[in-house]
Amino acid sequence: MRAFLFDIDGTLVDSSVSIERVWRQVAHEFGVDEAEILQNCHGRRDVDVAEDFFKPEVIEAVLARVNALDTECVNGAVPVRGAQQLLATLDDGQWAAVTSGPRPLMAARLRAAGLPVPPVLITADDVHFGKPHPEGFLLAAKALGVPPTSCVVVEDSPAGVAAGKAAGALVVALTTTHSADVLTAADIVVSDLSELPGVIP
């Protein structure tokens, strides 16, 4: 039996508009060009994005501002098409969520979207290395008691796809946030979660 390891933003919860709104605002406030940030902020920890695009002396302030704006945006979260139906078919021991976001925010987004918070929830607070490093997926597989090679990683970003592949899992990419042409490293590419049951071997 396969276990499913889902990313949250863009995979279970449609929050891309909120994420981009937050980073656009923060870029404006700190005088940084937003274009490259918006191309690289999905699927990555806030701290990794901040370290890539902001001066070291303002990173702490940037992260505090991102956190404050994220909290304000929680109520706009909605489930990705097919998420509610798919999760309803899985037992608690069959799936986990692995996210680059902080635990309180990710749990709040799931609840706001009407989705369950799984017993196994690996967040930015639990890892030393963010995606594309496989640490989060390896921790989730271990917590579920299954080998990574028996897992299906479901992701929407190139960083997440790379992390899933590095973990040794079968990787399914959704084109909810990025186009298919930048997700070619995935084993399977679908438009949303409603297609997932029909494509898993």
Catalytic positions are 7, 9
Cβ(11)–Cβ(174) below 8 Å: yes
- Write out the two tokens for 7: 């990313």
152: left (phi over 0), alpha (psi -120 to 50) or beta: beta
Q: How many whole angstroms separate alpha carbon 124 and alpha carbon 94?
A: 21
Give the count of beta carbons closer than 10 Å to the beta carbon of residue 28. Answer: 11
Going by C-alpha positions, the residue among 76, 95, 82, 116 that lies closest to residue 11 is 82
Q: How many whole angstroms separate alpha carbon 34 and alpha carbon 21?
A: 10
Amino acid at position 199, single letter = V
